Amino acid sequence: MRDVARHLATIAKQNGDNAELFARTSFNRYYYDCFLVVRQMCGELGLTTSFQHKQLPQYLRDTVAGRFKNKIKTIQRVRHRRNAVSGVNLPSLISSAITHLNSLAEILESAYAIRVIADYQPDFKLAIDSNRSWSLHEKSLEEAENWVRLTDIFTGKIKHAWRQLP
């Protein structure tokens, strides 16, 4: 998806016929790339990959964060009974994972809102600056491309934290 989004953004920058449509579609593809990366992460964590787009941010905040918290509680109970000590700082690990989940949810909310405008509100005009950079509702295509980069970073850190849990 991201390669398609970049290609569409390049075409949009050429400012030819239908440039705004290419820009709109590029925003759409950047969002879908983020969505698919998060869905893949959920599958790798053994969680459902079937959710509605609009509900995904809350799913991350509630369900995925809840799974981290529940797993930590279980581990702490078992270790308390066994007097076991771990090299992993569980409170820090859970805090970090939840922070990344919240950041990921914020990206998805913002990206989804832009995607909806791009797809369903054709009367909402995009802006183009002197550098031929398109923006929609004050979000540039460069920012949209950054959604993908940050989604990769946050999902990687969340998966890493998940693997640290015994």
Q: Which H or E run contains 156? A: helix 141-164
* Structure token digits, residue 13: 């920058």
Domain residue ranges of the chain, discontinuous segments joined by +: 2-164
* Structure token digits, residue 109: 């909310």
In whole angstroms, what is the distance from residue 105 CA to residue 155 CA?
A: 11
Q: Is this structure's pTM higher than 0.75? A: yes
pLDDT tens for the chain, 166 residues long, are: 899 999 999 999 887 789 999 999 999 999 999 999 999 999 999 999 999 999 999 999 999 999 988 887 777 777 665 545 456 677 788 889 999 999 999 999 999 999 999 999 999 999 988 888 899 999 999 999 999 999 999 999 999 999 888 6
Task: Read off the amino acid at residue 142.
Answer: E
The DSSP code sequence of 33-98 is HHHHHHHHHHHHTT------GGGHHHHIIIIIHHHHHHHHHHHHHHHHHHT---SS-HHHHHHHHH
